[in-house]
Chains A and B, each alone.
Chain A
Amino acid sequence: MQDNPKKLNEIPIEDEYIYALSQIGQIATSRLDLNKRLEQIVKLTKRLLKVDVCSIFLYNEPTEKLILEATDGLDPDSITKVKLDIGEGVTGTCAEIRKPLMIPEVKKHPKFKYFPETKEEIFTSHLSIPLISFDKLIGVMNVNTIKLYHFTDREVKILQTIASYISGAISDAQIYNRALRRVKELSTIEEISTALSSTMELQQLLDLILKISSEIVKCEGGIIRLLDSDSKILIRKASSGMPYESEIIPDLKLGEGIAGWVAKEKQPVITNDVIGDERFIHPPESMVKTEICTPLLIKDEIIGTISLYNKLTTPISPEGTFDEEDLRLLIILANKAALAIDNAQLYYELKSKVEELSLLFQVSDKLSSTIDFEKVLDSYLDLNAKLLHADKCSVKLIDATGRMFETVRYIGLSDDYVKSRSEQIKDDGTNWVITEGESLLLPDITKDDRVYNIPSMVKEGIKSLLSIPMKYQDRVIGVLNVYKSKDEPTFTDDEVKLLTISANQAAISIENARLFKDTQNLAKINQDRLREISILYEIMRASSSTLELDDVLKVILTGLTFGDGFGFNRAFLLLPDEKIEFLEGKTAVGPSSYEEAWKIWQQVSEEELSLKDILYRKRDDEEYLTELTKRIKAVKIPINGKKVVGRTFLEKKPFNIKIAIKEFPIENEIGELLDWEDFAIVPLLSRDKAVGVVIVDNHFNKRAIAVEDINFLVMFANQAGLAIDNATVHKKLKESISSMEMANIELQELKNYSENIVESITSAISVIDKNTIISSCNSSFESFIGLSKKEIIGRSLLKLPLKIEEFDLMGIIEETSTKGEPQELSKVHCLANNKKVIADISIYPFKDSLKNVIGVVLSIQDVTDIVKLEKRVKDSEQLAMLGELSAGVAHEIRNPLVSIGGFVRRLQKKHKDDETDREYTSIIIKEVKRLENIVGEVLDIASPKKLKYDLVDLNKIILDIMNILKTSCRDKEIKVEQKLMESLPTVFGSSSQLKQVFFNLLQNAIEASPVGGIIKIETGHRDNEDFVMINNEGKSIPPYIKEKMFMPFFTTKIKGTGLGLSVSSRIIELHHGRIEFKSTEEGGTTFTVFLPKSAVKIKGL
């Protein structure tokens, strides 16, 4: 079959088969529901044989049909729907011939029958194996492949093996038979009782007891009744051999019927003719003929009865009678059975107690359930004691260190004994049991050195001890102890076994529960921590994204109030003043009314805003200045320990005010503001220093503030404190930086200035030896000469491009070096590097350490610029003199001219009728006018420095001014909207004067603006003018003020010269521009400055 893609001929690894088979075997014999077992088996088989289908049909005896019970590969809906007669189809044929049937092409087989519900039309090759158990047909197992395939012998055998597993598993009869056989094999009663005591399920046990009894005593059926201790009624718990009886045989009262009599008298009964026995009350339908009944006793207490019957028509026992031997056997069996039943009952209770224990551990909080837990442990002990018929027990659970007890419970021991126990594990046999992990059985405690505290145990009357380790995965988590006195029989092997099971089960429960709880705690802690950390992270990230104090504060409070964060309704922040005498309200976040709260919460949930969104939201929108913020800003409270907010700050400890309100009164201002008694105050700490306090509450949803909230708040507060501290430091830093920047600018100017000086003095210095060779020089000398140091040094001065007019430099140098006296030449004209230069030259003698003159220092100072400067100064001095003169001239000449001209005009008026007089006076007037004009012209020329007019960038001026006024805006929380036209052309004017104008206008706008208002600044051009528009939201200006606004010294401000607007209008007038303004209630006040676009001439004065 080389064309088979599955390569089924490949021999799989042996181990794989063995493993798969053992797995199938395990499943077949497991306690799972039959259908589940079959389901798993078909799956595994299909996988093991690499076939496309595996199905199991079971033979149903009453209907004599094969029914599809499990399949992997056929349509699962067809399960239980496909039914076949024996001999019908291939499967039916297999069942009929009871042999494997291998058909390579099943569709061609004469017996082939197609069942549409299975959708099996796609399959080609087929293999059927009959399921047979003890010569009885159980069913058929099929495998199929889609492709043509010949199954190997080996595969057939494997399938047969699997089939045998299934047969075994399915055959209830076989299991039953096996159990019976095993019972038969038990040669002694003792062995039976061992079997009994190993069964802990009560019902199973009762069934087993009945089966064993029937086997030993040879009867057709039996009933076990157990006494309900409360109602004193014998309740039928198990019956066998007479299934119909279950409906007709009643429960019995003590003394009622034969079993009732047996129970009451605690005596066995044999009766071989129940009809003749007056105690017998079975209805006739029961067909009972003979009965043997014996009580089940524990320590002489009745717990139930066992009755065995034979019927009237019994084929098994022809006589149908019971004899004394039967009774003897039954009594022995009953004794063992009673013990087993009792144990099973106790075990049942124990089990439920253990379950209760686990449940308790799992569901309840440790704190509230410790008492319950101890109670459960006590009843667990109680059950153990009963199980072992002892009255002294203890359970000791050890803690994580393994050296101390975590929980210890005793029953049956005196208070003195309990009190004298130590917490250490060195107690009775516990230490040894824990160390060794083994049980300790001591018939006599006094003879064993592994036991501690023997005297106090002896005092309690304890003789023997059974200590069982409570193990969980080889780890001892506690010890279960049972003590017996010398009167009681010592422990049996069964008891040890029983207690071991009990101890281990309890250990598993307790440990699982602990594990569960730990995991739960861990998960919760992780979750909480994650939440905390992520909130902190978001908040810290947001607050570190800005270092502006106001923004940091807002971010912090937002973090506190947002649902994803702490979810407090409101948060208030107070910071100390500079002297730390008062706490001042800074900002608050939260709604100011229920309506607002509702609106905000709805908005947040509708927009699905996350903490992040809120934190990074534009921070200067209108929510910035809420009603609440306004109110908190008015709060100023002294820092002292008398009231709670101040105290929080001083003590650096959080307060949850629901608790503290009576002890510490709250500051009135805060109380009024909050209007709510349940709130928390947390100090904001930075490096162990309080930097503020935060108050939070849930005024609107009235949620109580939990301890965890406070813990987290404290953690948060530390971070927040740090952020605030950083921001404060940053603020100071910024201030100092700006002052440093100022200083730096000054320094820079100074530096430039000194550099300028250095530049202008440019002293070129060189050292020359007696042979006129230059030994060193400075860089100024280099540039002065126009050669590099390399080229200069070592050369003779004579060979440098340097010539001095009028003087013999060499002679002077020689003179200096011989005389040792300095020489100075002032303003000498020289030719250096082919340039004409004026220089001051100094020649100093250069001496060595012994004061011998070894050469000269030549210092040449280029004073060309200075000389030029001097000249200019002289010129300007002359000009200034001229200016002064002009002023004098003006006064001295113009004033008399005014008088002359003025009075002549008067004369002319007086003599207007006289022709000659008029002619003469006109001449004087004309001449005076000429003089006045000349004086005016002279004065114009002499007029000192005129204002500097230049090209001015209006946008830059606005930006410069806004930079200056930034702080004022921030103080009033004013938002500035700038709309500056980028391509705005420069205007011709005085930058300093225009600055003055816009400074005045913008300052007025800020002063007129309401808190939180908006100032709009717009630049642009219209027709032939550029304009700057400044709008504020201030109150409209009343008409009577409008008229006088531009008048000098007019002001409505308390402080102010009243010159601002008048000066501004004069400046703009001077620039040939104009100021317009509009003031309405709705639109606020707008000043618009228009300036002509083209270059303007200065308005002449």
Chain B
Amino acid sequence: MKKILIVEDEENQRLLYKTELEEEGYIVYVAENGVEGLKKFELERPDLVTIDIKMPDMDGMELLQRMREIDKDIPIIMLTAYGEYSQNFTTWAADKYIVKSSDLTKVKQEIRNLLEKE
């Protein structure tokens, strides 16, 4: 069973993603900020990570970089409500960059793709 770590500061969305993805048959870990996310990343060694860019304290970009330093092979999807970050080179270090939508079909599809590639 593949493990997915979701780093998201919005509680409702954490719940949404967790529920939806568990239904898809993944083991889902959640973290509500960058620090917690990093801790769980090291502890759980997930097969995939989704990160919300805009978070208090450590933002998604920094977290992305930290995670890559630890293990650059784990696929990471950046999720954001705001497309502007797509032009920041740093976000390109992520495997995917997805603008959030209430329709999770796309996210699920990308997760499947990335995990299959492994």
| Chain A residues in the interface with B (C-beta under 8 A) | 886-887, 890-891, 894-906, 925, 928-929, 932, 936, 939-940, 943-944, 946-947, 1044, 1047-1050, 1058-1059, 1062-1063, 1066, 1101
Bound complex: CA A738 to CA B4 (Å):
54
- Given contact pairs A897-B102, A901-B102, A906-B19, A891 touches B72 in the complex (Cβ within 8 A): no
Cβ contacts under 8 Å, A887 to chain B: 54, 82, 84
Secondary structure class of chain A's binding surface, majority of residues: helix
Report whether B72 and A1050 are in contact in the complex, using a CB–CB cutoff of 8 Å. Answer: yes
Task: Say yes or no: is B113 at the interface (Cβ < 8 Å to chain A).
Answer: no
| Docked-complex contact B20 and A1047, CB < 8 angstroms | no
- CA of A156 to CA of B32, assembled, Å: 144
Judging by beta carbons under 8 Å apart, are A1059 and B102 in contact? no
In the complex the two chains form, what is the Cα distance from A887 to B84 in whole Å?
A: 9
Is B84's CB under 8 angstroms from A905's CB?
Answer: no
A-B contact pairs, 18 of them (CB 8 A): A890-B81, A890-B82, A891-B54, A898-B16, A899-B12, A899-B13, A899-B16, A900-B102, A902-B20, A903-B16, A906-B19, A939-B83, A940-B83, A1044-B73, A1047-B72, A1048-B68, A1048-B94, A1063-B92
1/0 per residue, CB under 8 A from A, across B84-111: the answer is: 1011010011110001111110000000
* A901 surroundings in chain B (CB, below 8 A): 101-103
Question: Residue B24 at the A interface, CB < 8 A?
Answer: no
Q: Which residues of chain A have C-beta atoms less than 8 A from B68's C-beta?
A: 1048-1049, 1058
- Whole-angstrom distance from the CB of A60 to the nearest CB of chain B? 121
Q: For B92, what are the chain A residues with a Cβ–Cβ distance below 8 Å?
A: 1048, 1059, 1062-1063, 1066
A1101 to B87, CA, bound (A): 9
> Smallest CB-CB separation from A1058: which chain B residue?
B72
Q: Chain A residues near B103: list those with CB within 8 A.
A: 901, 905, 929
Q: How far, in Å, is B13 (CB) from chain A's closest CB?
A: 6
Which of B8-45 touch A at CB < 8 Å? 10, 12-13, 16, 19-20
* A890 to B100 CA separation, bound complex (whole angstroms): 10
Q: Which of A891, A896, A946, A1062 contacts B82 (CB 8 A)?
A: A891
Residues in A neighbouring B54, C-beta threshold 8 A: 887, 891
Tell whether, in the assembled complex, residue A1059 and residue B83 are in contact, meaning their CB atoms are under 8 Å apart: no
Tell me how many residue pairs across A and B have CB atoms closer than 8 Å.
Answer: 91
Contacting residues, chain B, for A943 (C-beta < 8 A): 83-84
Whether B84 lies near A944 (C-beta < 8 A) is: yes
Nearest residue, chain B, Cβ from A1043: B117
Q: Is the CB of A895 within 8 A of B87?
A: no
CA–CA, A898 and B95, complex, Å: 22
Nearest CB in chain A to that of B90: its residue: A1059
Measured between beta carbons, the chain B residues less than 8 angstroms from A906 are 16, 19-20
B100 touches A898 (CB 8 A): yes
Q: Give the distance to chain A from B77, nearest Cβ to Cβ, in Å.
A: 13
Q: Is the CB of B10 within 8 A of A899?
A: yes
Q: Which residue of A lies closest to B100 (CB)?
A: A898
Across the interface, name the chain B residue whose C-beta is closest to A900. Answer: B102
**Chain B neighbourhood of A905, CB < 8 A:** 102-104
Give the contact-size bracket for chain B: 20 to 34
Q: In the complex, what distance in Å separates the CA atom of A1059 from the CA atom of B72?
A: 11
Contact partner of B101 among A898, A1062, A1101, CB < 8 A? A898
| Least CB distance, A658 to chain B, in whole angstroms | 63
Q: Is the CB–CB distance between B72 and A895 below 8 Å?
A: no
The 7 tightest CB contacts between A and B, nearest first, are A901-B102, A1048-B93, A899-B12, A1049-B72, A1049-B68, A902-B16, A1101-B86
Residues of chain A with a CB closer than 8 A to B100's CB: 894-895, 898
* A838 and B21 alpha carbons, distance in the complex (Å): 64
Known: A895-B10, A1063-B89, A1101-B83. A932 touches B101 (CB 8 A): yes
Nearest opposing residue in chain B for A1069, CB measure = B92
| Chain B min CB distance to A491 (Å) | 117
Given contacts A894-B100, A940-B83, 13 further A-B contacts (CB under 8 A): A886-B82, A887-B84, A894-B81, A898-B81, A905-B103, A906-B16, A932-B101, A1048-B93, A1048-B94, A1059-B92, A1063-B89, A1063-B92, A1066-B92
Q: Is B116 an interface residue (CB 8 A)?
A: no
Specify which chain A residues have a CB less than 8 angstroms from the CB of B101 in the assembled complex: 898, 901, 932
Q: Is B57 an interface residue (CB 8 A)?
A: no
Q: Report the separation of the CA atoms of residues A915 and B69 in the bound assembly, to the nearest whole angstrom.
A: 51
- The distance in angstroms between the C-alpha atoms of A946 and B84, with both chains bound, is 9
Greatest chain B CB density within 10 A among A886, A894, A936 is at A894
Which residue among A903, A904, A947, A1048 has the maximum number of chain B CB atoms within 10 Å of its CB? Answer: A1048
* Beta-carbon contact of A932 and B102 below 8 Å: yes
Contacting pair B72 A1048 (CB below 8 A): yes
Q: What CA separation (Å) do A898 and B86 show in the bound complex?
A: 20
- Measured CA separation A895–B12 after assembly (Å): 9
A902 near B104 (CB under 8 angstroms)? yes
Bound: A895/B16 CA distance, A: 12
Known: A890-B82, A1049-B69. A947 touches B13 (CB 8 A): no
- From B13, B73, B89, B93, give the contact of A895 (CB < 8 A): B13
Chain B residues whose C-beta falls within 8 Å of the C-beta of A1048 in the assembled complex:
68, 72, 92-95
Contact A929 B81 (CB under 8 A): no
Contacts of A944 in B (CB 8 A): 84
- A928 to B87 CA separation, bound complex (whole angstroms): 27
Q: Considering the chains assembled together, what is the distance between the CA atoms of A925 and B103 in angstroms?
A: 9
Which B residues between 60 and 90 are near A, CB-CB below 8 angstroms?
Answer: 68-69, 72-73, 81-84, 86-87, 89
Q: Is the CB of A1062 within 8 A of B84?
A: no
What is the CA–CA distance of A723 and B26 in the complex, to the nearest angstrom?
74
Q: How far is the CA of A906 from the CA of B16 in the complex (A)?
A: 9
- Report the minimum CB–CB distance from A713 to chain B (whole Å): 59
A905 to B99, CA, bound (A): 18
Among residues of A, the one whose C-beta sits closest to the C-beta of B97 is A1101
A944 nearest CB neighbor, chain B only: B84
Give chain A residues whose Cβ lies under 8 Å from the Cβ of B73.
1044, 1047
Q: In the docked arrangement, what's the CA distance between A115 and B82, Å?
A: 129
Interchain CA distance A897-B99 in the complex, whole Å:
13
